[in-house]
Amino acid sequence: MKARVIQSKIWTDEYFFSLSLEEKIVFLYLITNESINIIHLYQITPQRIAADTGVSVDKVLKTLQKFNNDKKIFFFKNHVFLKNAYKYQDYKGKKNEEAKKRLLSELPKDVLDWYKAILDRGIDSSIDRGIDTLYNKKLEINNKKLEIINNNRDGEIIREEEENKEYKTINYLLKIPQEDLYEFYSIYQASKEEIIRKAEQLYNYCQAHGKRYKNYKAFLRNALERDFKRRPQRLTIEKTGVSLKEIFEARQREKGGGQNG
* Inside any domain, residue 260: no
* Inside any domain, residue 157: no
DSSP code per residue over 23-68 = HHHHHHHHHHSTT--TTSEEE--HHHHHHHH---HHHHHHHHHHHH
* Inside any domain, residue 13: yes
If asked whether residues 110 and 179 sit together in one domain, one would say no
* Inside any domain, residue 204: yes
Q: Which helix (H) or strand (E) holds 74?
A: strand 74-76
3-state class (DSSP) for residue 260: coil
What is the number of residues in the chain? 261
**Dihedral sign of CA atoms 34, 37, 43, 49 in order:** positive
Phi and psi at 41, nearest 5°, equal: -130, 115
* Angle, vertex CA 161, rays to CA 159 and CA 162, nearest 5: 130
Distances in Å between the Cα of 194 and the Cα atoms of 3, 21, 169, 175, 220 are 35, 33, 21, 14, 12
Predicted pLDDT at 247: 60
Domain-ending residue, one of 85, 119, 147: 147
Crossing angle of the two packed helices 109-119 and 125-150, in degrees rounded to 10: 150
* Inside any domain, residue 153: no
Domain-ending residue, one of 121, 147, 173: 147
Distance of CA 171 to the CA centre of its chain: 21
User: Which DSSP category does 106 fall into?
Assistant: T
If asked whether residues 208 and 107 sit together in one domain, one would say no
* Inside any domain, residue 216: yes
* Inside any domain, residue 156: no
Residues of the domain holding 236: 164-255
Residue 45 class from Cβ within 10 Å (0-12 exposed, 13-18 middle, 19+ buried)? Answer: middle
Alpha helices in the chain (DSSP H): 14-18, 21-32, 46-53, 57-69, 85-88, 94-105, 109-119, 125-150, 178-187, 192-209, 216-227, 237-240, 244-255
If asked whether residues 181 and 251 sit together in one domain, one would say yes
If asked whether residues 14 and 135 sit together in one domain, one would say yes
3-state class (DSSP) for residue 95: helix
Give the domain CATH number at 59: 1.10.10.10
If asked whether residues 15 and 60 sit together in one domain, one would say yes
* Inside any domain, residue 84: yes
If asked whether residues 120 and 183 sit together in one domain, one would say no
If asked whether residues 93 and 175 sit together in one domain, one would say no
Domain-ending residue, one of 88, 120, 147: 147
If asked whether residues 141 and 67 sit together in one domain, one would say yes
Predicted pLDDT at 138: 47
Dihedral in degrees, nearest 10, Cα atoms 202, 208, 212, 216? 20
Number of domains in the chain: 2
Return per-residue pLDDT of the chain as tens, 261 residues: 566 667 788 899 899 999 999 999 999 999 888 888 878 888 999 999 999 999 999 999 999 999 989 989 999 989 999 877 665 555 556 776 777 788 878 888 888 888 888 877 654 433 344 444 444 454 455 445 444 444 444 444 334 334 456 788 898 899 898 888 888 888 888 888 899 999 999 988 898 888 888 899 999 999 998 999 887 654 444 444 445 556 666 666 665 654 444
